[in-house]
A and B are shown apart, each in its own frame.
Chain A
Amino acid sequence: MFARTAWTIFRKDVVVEVRSRELVATTMFFALSAVIVFAVALVREGRVVADAAAGILWIAIAFAGTLALGRTFERERYTDTLRALLLAPAPRAAVYVGKLLGVVAVLLLVELLLVPLVALLFDAALLRRPALLVGLLVAGTIGFASVGTLFAAMLVRARSRDVLLPVLLYPITIPVIIAGVRGTAAILQPVPDEPMATFWLMLLAAFDTVFVTVALWTFDPLMTD
Chain B
Amino acid sequence: MSLDFDQVHAGGIGRHFGRRLALSQVTFTCRAGEIVGLLGPNGAGKSTLLAVLSTLLQPSSGAIRYGPHGSDVAGPALRQRLGWLGHDLQLYPELTARENLRFFADLHAVPAPEACVQRALAAARLEARADDVVSSYSRGMRQRLALERAMLHQPRLLLLDEPFTGLDGASAEALASRLRQLASEGRIIVMATHEVAFADDVLSRALILHEGRLAGDVPGRDWRTAYRDALQAVR
A residues with a Cβ closer than 8 A to B are 1, 4-5, 8-9, 12, 15-16, 19-20, 75, 78-81, 83-91, 224-225
Contacts and interface: CB of A to CB of B under 8 A. Distances in A.
Contact of B107 (A15, A16, A80, A85): A85
Nearest to A5: B107
Contacts of A5: 107
Given A79-B88, A79-B92, A80-B90, A225 B58 contact: yes
Contacts of B79: 87-89
Contacts of A1: 76, 109
A105 B79 CA distance: 29
B86 A83 contact: yes
Contact of A224 (B57, B82, B93, B107): B57
24 contacts: A1-B109, A8-B103, A9-B107, A19-B94, A19-B95, A19-B133, A79-B93, A80-B87, A80-B88, A81-B90, A83-B54, A83-B86, A84-B107, A86-B56, A87-B54, A87-B82, A88-B79, A88-B107, A89-B79, A89-B80, A89-B109, A90-B109, A225-B51, A225-B56
Interface string B116-141: 00000000000000000100000000
B84 interface: yes
> Which bucket holds chain B's interface residue count?
20 to 34
A153 B76 CA distance: 20
Contact of A225 (B57, B80, B133): B57
Nearest to B74: A224
A145 B88 CA distance: 28
B198 interface: no
B66 to A, nearest CB: 14
Contacts of A84: 84, 90, 104, 107, 149
A225 B77 CA distance: 20
